[in-house]
Amino acid sequence: MPQDAPDRRTVEAVVALATRAPSVHNTQPWRWATGDSSVHLFADPDRSLPAIDPDGRDLLISCGAALHHLRVGFAALGWATEVRHLPNPAEPDHLAAITFCPRQATAADIALAAAIPHRRTDRRRFSSWPVPTDVLDVLAESAARQGVIAVAATDPEDRFRLTSAITLASWRQGMDPAYESELAAWAGRGFAAEDGVPAANTPSDSVQHGDVAMRTFPGGALDVASDGSEDDAGELLVLATSADDRVSRLRAGEALSAVLLAATDFRLATCPLSQATEFAATREALHEGVLGAVAVPQIVLRVGWAPVGGEPLPATPRRPAADVLGDYPSARAAHLGGTR
């Protein structure tokens, strides 16, 4: 790359950081490519989940989260990024083109990048300590900077509607053999795997934390036993967009990453919950009952304080950056158009 863009080693290092983004069942459905002075994000349709994610919502949100992780990594190394979403109509899997401008990294940039390797999806019971309202406000501001609203279901009626939708979606998924088969193919992985959900990070049985039904993964080995002496005070945030097109879903993923990293910086535990947004009926229930019919729910996020005395969770596996990074033809990269 020229001097007004990061060199190849920097790109490789930041792509490696971006692969730490959360993705639906750790499918890591992305590919990256470098142009003369740009980096490009592509969806990997071979890693789609037709039974779990029939309309590709979770795949796009996953790729959006990786895109934001990439932006955070470059910012910490002194590079501002400009993103063009869906830059090439002839290539629907071409999700974003990223160009660069030198900029001094701030302490906030560095803190967010430092949070990336520490973030975990924590499916355990959270502690009884409440999440302060001002912290929830900061998380909402993080989403708003990505053009997404984050609604905390702190009203009891909203919370009941939300948890009821999660429970209904979980029940419907459990009755679907195609869903069960697809989930089993990606769950219960050992430490040698490069993708999928490790057994060490998922409960060994069905789990409900307070009023929240957690997704059941086959082959889990995570101990989530509790003596029942304290309630789970985890909060639920609904990330929502004004529209439901592909750019909106990508932006929802960018907002998911922003909120997760901000929460991790606060030392909060987090767990994305996508069950209720994987069915049209439960999405509509959230749209009408929780969001007042003014926004489209994209994903739910559970946040709280990690259980006292809980062991640190192991990092989930990732494919090496070399396996997901290639070259983008410079002649095509120079003629990218599209929307921002």
pLDDT score at 331: 34
- Nearest by Cα to 264 from 224, 312, 216, 230: 312
pLDDT at position 257, please? 98
Binned at pLDDT 50, 70 and 90, residue 225 comes out as: low
* Alpha carbons 215 and 251: distance in angstroms, whole number: 24
3-class state of residue 94 by DSSP: strand
Whether 226 has a pLDDT exceeding 70, the answer reads no
Residue 224 identity: V
pLDDT digits (tens, 9 = 90+) for 130-188: 999 999 999 999 999 999 999 999 999 999 999 999 999 999 999 999 999 999 999 99
Which of 3.90.420.10, 3.40.109.10, 3.30.9.10, 3.30.420.40 is the CATH number of 120-304? 3.40.109.10
pLDDT in tens, 240-285: 999 999 999 999 999 999 999 999 999 999 999 999 999 999 999 9
Residue 229 three-state SS: coil
Q: What is the DSSP string of 183-204?
A: HHHHEEE-TT-SSSEEGGGSBS
Position 228 scores a pLDDT of 58
d(Cα 77, Cα 109) in Å, to the nearest integer? 9
Structure confidence at residue 229 (pLDDT): 61
Class (C level, CATH) for 8-117+317-333: alpha beta
Closest CA to 113 of 17, 19, 248: 17
pLDDT of residue 1: 63
* Cα-based distances in Å from 173 to 52, 180, 339: 8, 7, 36
- When pLDDT is averaged across residues 72-98 and rounded to a whole number, the result is 96
pLDDT at 2: 63
Enumerate the domain spans of the chain. Answer: 8-117+317-333, 120-304
Closest alpha carbon to 16 in 92, 69, 94 = 69
pLDDT at 333: 43
* Averaged pLDDT for residues 99-107: 96
Write down the mean pLDDT value for the chain.
Answer: 93
Model pLDDT, residue 206: 86
Banded pLDDT at 90 (limits 50, 70, 90): very high
pTM of the full predicted structure? 0.94
Cα–Cα distance between 64 and 298 in angstroms, integer?
A: 12
Are residues 97 and 340 in contact, defined by beta-carbon separation less than 8 angstroms? no
Q: Does residue 8 surpass a pLDDT of 60?
A: yes
Q: Would you state the pLDDT for residue 337? A: 39
- Residue 204 is predicted with a pLDDT of 84
Do the domains 8-117+317-333 and 120-304 sit in the same CATH topology, yes or no? yes
Q: Grade residue 335 by pLDDT with cuts at 50, 70 and 90.
A: very low
